[in-house]
Amino acid sequence: MAIEIERKFLVRDAGWREAVSRSTRMVQGYLVAEPGLTLRVRIAGERALLTLKGASRGIARAEYEYPVPLADAEAMLRDLACTALVEKVRHLVPVADRVWEVDEFAGANAGLVLAELELEDERAAFVRPDWLGEEVSDDPRYFNARLARHPYRDW
């Protein structure tokens, strides 16, 4: 079990692209998408993960993540997902001593780009790159489970 502490931002422009160190295509869906529990299946490249998250407490959240066989993940997304699938490319963008995850959404969420930073505690300091926009950590519209049900193109 880990406690996930994550801050999430819009981007102001595409300046982040120059600094991308790696990009991975991801598709994910939710078997459970409740406020108190989400169960996510994610396929990232050739890897698959099953991730369980409890209720959010501020920007912190208990997270349990386990690798699963790719064929299991595909079958779960096909047979058990309770939401549409969310497609995105995750770009890793090093900035100073941290690595941002910039998610460029596709499919029903095309046009949306979110920059996320995992932090060791809620008050941890970090360098704000020029391309960083408004913080949306607390805005439930940007939760991935919400984007599966209410995609960006319908906003």
Q: Which is nearer to its own copies, 22 or 57 (CB)?
A: 57
**Taking the complex as a whole, how short is the minimal distance between the CB of residue 34 and its own copies, in angstroms?**
9
Q: Nearest distance from residue 1's CB to its own copies, in Å?
A: 5
Which of 26, 32, 14, 147 shows the shortest CA–CA distance to 87? 26
Taking the CA atoms of residue 86, residue 63, residue 46 and residue 81 in that order, the dihedral angle to the nearest 10 degrees is: -40
Which of 140, 154, 149 lies closest to 81 in space, CA to CA? Answer: 149
Task: For residue 66, indicate whether it is catalytic.
Answer: no
Q: How far apart are CA 113 and CA 87, in angstroms?
A: 12
Q: Pick the catalytic residue: 30, 64, 66, 152?
A: 30
Q: Which residues bind its own copies (CB under 8 A)?
A: 1, 31-32, 36-37, 39, 50, 52, 54, 62, 64, 66, 68, 71-72, 75-76, 79-80, 82
Looking at the annotation, which residues are catalytic? 30
